[in-house]
Amino acid sequence: MRAVMRVNTFDEDKLGAASEQLDEFDRIHAEQRGLVGNVTVDLGAGRRFVLNLWESAAAQQAGLQALGPLVERLVNPLLAEPSQLIGDGDVIGFDIDPTARFHTD
């Protein structure tokens, strides 16, 4: 399994009015072959940490090729600064309970 980690800093004014754009991107992103899943963490002040998990390096590269134009059209216009790639690499540990429920408090 491969992981890609980024921090995206959004323009909060643009972000507030762009839920349809992000929903479209998220839907198409989720349809990519080989995508295991995503984790997005709100860091505040428009910043979001994003973790994408892919089945393999080949799936990761194919996803990057397919999603690049969509990122340019749907995500980048909402950013206050360029997306910061923290890194990508092989997952060496994965300890998430598949029965856990997602809650926001």
Place of tokens 């926001």: 104
Q: Report pLDDT for 105.
A: 64
Report the C-alpha gap between 60 and 34 in whole angstroms. 7
Q: Which secondary structure element, helix H or strand E, spans residue 41, and what is its range?
A: strand 35-44
Could you report the per-residue pLDDT of 72-101, keeping only the tens digit for each? 999 999 999 999 999 999 999 988 877 877
* Domains along the chain with CATH numbers: 2-86 (3.30.70.100)
- Collapse the DSSP code of 90 into the 3-class scheme (helix H, G, I; strand E, B; otherwise coil) and give the result: strand
Query: Distance between CA 43 and CA 40 in Å, rounded?
Result: 9
Give the C-alpha distances (Å, rounded to integers) separating 84 from 5, 36, 104. 9, 22, 25
27-54: pLDDT as tens digits: 999 999 999 999 999 999 999 999 999 9
